[in-house]
Structure 1
Amino acid sequence: MNNQAQKSREALGARLRGYRKDAGFSSGRAFAAAMNWQESKVSRIENGKQNASEDDIRVWCEKTGREASAGDLVATLRHIDELWSEWRRQLQAGIDQPQKKLVPLYQKTKVFRIWEPNVVWGTLQTGEYAKAIFEAVVRVHGDTGGEDSAVAKRLQRQRYLYEGDRIFNVVLGEQALYSNHGGAEVMRGQLDRLMVVMALPRLSLGIVPRSAPLAVWFGHGFSMFDDKVVRVETESAEMQVTQPGEIEIYMKTFELHRQSAVYGKAARDLIVGAIDHFDRMERENRD
C-alpha cells in the first residue's frame, strides 16, 4: 500500500479508537467481546494493519453511538480503496475497464502534466502501438478479454487533444522513442504520429535527451490532472494521489523534468533520429 493510503488507513483507525474510548470501552478486548469479534481484529483495525469493511464501520458506529458518522467514515474507506487498486482486480472485468474509468477525469481536467520516461503516453499512441502495449499487459496479468475495446477507448480519448481549451504538457524520456513495442514498422508509425501532434496548439511536447543533465532521477511515469489528482501505474497496481502535500511533490518533480527537456526543432531532431534507427533495423532484418 502506498504511503498516502497507509496514512489514511491509520487515521481512520485512530478515529475509530476514539469512538470506542468515548463510548466507555477502555480496552480493545472489551469492545471485541461486545462486537463478538476476535480481539486481534479490533487492534489491527485501530492501528491501520487491517482494512475495515463497510459493514464493520457501520456496526462500530452503531455500537459506539456514532451512527451519524457512519456515512462519512464509509466514504473515507472507499477513498482509501481508490488510492491503491490492484490491477488484477480491476482487469477481472476486462482490460478495457481501466480505460473506461478515465473518461470522466479527462472531461473535467483543464491542464494535463504527463511524465513518461520509457513509453509514449497513451493519449498520443497509435492504434498499433496501443495494441502492443495491451498485449504486454496480457502477458503479465493474463487474458481477461476486451483488448480491442481497450485500444478503441484509448484512441477515443485523443479527441480531448482537439476539444475545448485543455492544455497538455507532456514530457517523455528519449528512451520512450526507442522502447520497441510492436516492431520497427509500428514504432515508425508511432514516431510519425509524434511529429504530427507536435503541431497541435495546446500540446507542449518535450523530450529529455539520454545525455541531458538531470535535475532529478527519472523514477516512474505519472499523469497529473490539474492539481487535484495524480495517477501512477506500477506492474501490480494503480495508485491515485489526492493528498495536496504529495501532489506538490509530483508538481515539483514534473517541473524539474521539464528543465531537462528539449522542445521544438531539438525534440523533432531526436524523433527523426529514432525513426532512422528503426529504418535501419528494418533494412537489416530484410537483409
Structure 2
Amino acid sequence: MTASPSSSVQEARKSIAERLREIRLDAGLTGRELALRCGWHPAKSSRIENVKTLPSDADLRAWCLACGVEDQAADLIAASRTASSMYMEWRRLQRTGLRRLQESYVPLYERTKLFRVYCSHVVPGLLQTPAYATVLLSAITDFRRIPNDVEDAVSARVARSHVIREGDHRFAVLLEEGVLRHRIGDAETMAGQLGHLLAIMSLPRVSLGIIPFTAERRMWVIEPFTIFDDAQAGVELLSADVKLTAPNDTHLYTRAFSELQRLAVYGARARPLIAAAINALG
C-alpha cells in the first residue's frame, strides 16, 4: 500500500523535532529551562518536540542560542523550510486566483523529459481542452471561493501544454476508466474532451493507457499524481499540493505507477473504451 503523501511531510517535521530534542538534551536542559531562556511558555517547548507546533525561524534561532549551538540554526531553518514547502495548501497557492498557479508550473514542465501521470478522477491538465478546463477551473474557483480569473487561467493552462508538441519530452499517462465517464460540463464539452484524447493517442511521444473497470486489480485506485523524471512527485489532495523529492518517496510513486501500468490497455484496446464513453453521452 502506498503511504499517504502527507505522512512524508510529517516524517520530515518529526525529524526536525527530534533534532531539537537531542540538542536540548545535549545541552543538559529541561523543557522548562529551555522555555525560560527562550522567553516563551513551557508548554511551547513540549509542543514543538511533539510536532504539535511548527517552529518559526525565530523559534529555531532562539532554541539553538539557548543551547549554545548557534551554528546549527541555519541548517535547521533550511530543513524546516523544505518540510513546509513539501505541503502547500491550495488556499495559499490559489488565494489570488488560478492563473499564476498555472504559470508557476511552466519551468518544471519545460525541464522535465519524462512525465508519468496518473489520474483517477479528471483528465490531467496537460490533456484538457479549453472547454473542459473552463468548466473544471470554474468549479474549483467556486468551491475555493477565490478571485475569478478563469479565462486567464484556462489560457495559461492551455499554453503550458505546448510541451506535448514541442521540445524533447515524453509522456506516459494513465487514466482510470471512470475519468472517461465522470461528466465535466455538458455532453458537448465531454465529447470534445474525449475526442481530444483519441487525437492525443496518435502522438508519438504520448503513451495513453486506460485502466478498465473490469481490470483485475493488483493496485487500487489512489490519489492523482505526476512524476517529473525521477526527481520529484507531485500529489494532488483536496486540501493541498504535495511535492515529494526524497528518493524513497519518488521511488514509491514510481513503483505504484508501474503496478498501475500493468492494469492499463493501450491503442486498439483503449480506443473502444473512449468511443463507448462518447456514445454513452447520447
TM over 0.5: yes
Structure 2 partner of 1:15 = 19
Note the C-alpha offset of 1:23.
Answer: 3.0
Partner Cα distance (1:193, 1:206) in 2? 14
Name 2:66's counterpart in structure 1: 63
Q: Match for residue 176 of structure 1?
A: 179
| RMSD of equivalent CA atoms | 1.5
The runs of 4+ residues in structure 1 deviating greater than 3 Å are none
Deviation at 1:50, TM superposition (A): 1.1
Cα distance between partner residues in 1 of 2:76 and 2:153:
34
2:235 aligned partner: 232
Give the equivalent residue in structure 2 for 1:257.
Answer: 260
Could you give the per-residue CA deviations for residues 95-133 of structure 1, whole angstroms, max 9, x where no partner exists? 223322212221221111111122111100001101111
2:221 aligned residue:
218
- Which residue of the other structure, out of 156, 160, 163, is the alignment partner of 1:160? 163
- Give the CA deviation at 1:70: 2.2
Per the alignment, residue 113 of structure 2 pairs with 110
The answer to whether structure 1 residue 140 and structure 2 residue 143 are counterparts is: yes
**Counterpart for residue 3 of structure 1:** 7
Aligned to 2:97: 94
Structure 1 stretches lacking a partner, 5+ long: 281-287
Equivalence for 2:204 = 201
Task: Give CA deviations for 1:124-167 in whole Å, capped at 9, x if unaligned.
Answer: 00011011111121232113232222211211121111222211
Secondary structure in 1 aligned to 2:280? Answer: helix
**Superposition deviation, residue 248 in structure 1:** 1.9
| Equivalent residues in 2 for 1:45-60, closer than 5 Å | 45-60=48-63
Q: 1:61 Cα deviation (Å)? A: 2.3
Structure 2 SS opposite 1:2: helix
- List alignment gaps of at least 5 residues for structure 2: none
Find the counterpart in structure 1 of residue 35 from structure 2: 32
Distance in 1 separating the partners of 2:44 and 2:99? 36
Deviations 1:40-98 (A, max 9, x none): 11111122221001111122223333333222222211111112111112211222233
CA change 1:55–1:145 in 2 (3 A) is: farther
* Percent of aligned pairs sharing the same letter: 39
Aligned length: 278
Equivalent position SS for 2:265: coil
Paired with 2:72 and 2:192, the residues of 1 have a C-alpha distance of: 55
Q: Could you say which residue in structure 2 is the equivalent of 1:125?
A: 128
Q: Is 1:119–1:179's contact at 8 Å kept on the other side of the alignment?
A: yes
Kept in 2, the 8 Å contact 1:28–1:43? The answer is yes
Q: How many Å separate the matches in 2 of 1:267 and 1:147? A: 32
> Matched residues in 1 for 2:170 and 2:61: separation?
43
* Partner SS for 1:200: coil
Give, in whole Å, the separation in 1 of the partners of 2:21 and 2:242.
27
TM-score (norm 1): 0.92
Aligned-partner Cα distance in 2 for 1:162–1:69 = 47
Q: What residue identity is the alignment partner of 2:10?
A: Q
TM-score, reference length from structure 2: 0.93
Paired residue type of 1:16: L
What amino acid is the match of 1:90? Answer: L
- What is the aligned counterpart of 1:272 among 240, 259, 275? 275
1:222 positional shift: 0.9
CA contact (8 A) 1:118 1:174 kept: no
* SS of 1:232 mapped into structure 2: strand
More displaced, 228-237 or 55-64? 55-64
Residues in 1 aligned to 2:73 and 2:163: alpha-carbon distance in whole angstroms:
39
Alignment-mate amino acid for residue 200 of structure 1: L
For 2:259 and 2:265, locate their aligned partners in 1 and report how far apart those are by CA, in whole Å. 13
Is residue 2:46 matched to residue 1:43? yes
Tell me the distance in 1 between the aligned counterparts of 2:109 and 2:127: 14
* Amino acid in the other structure paired with 2:20: L
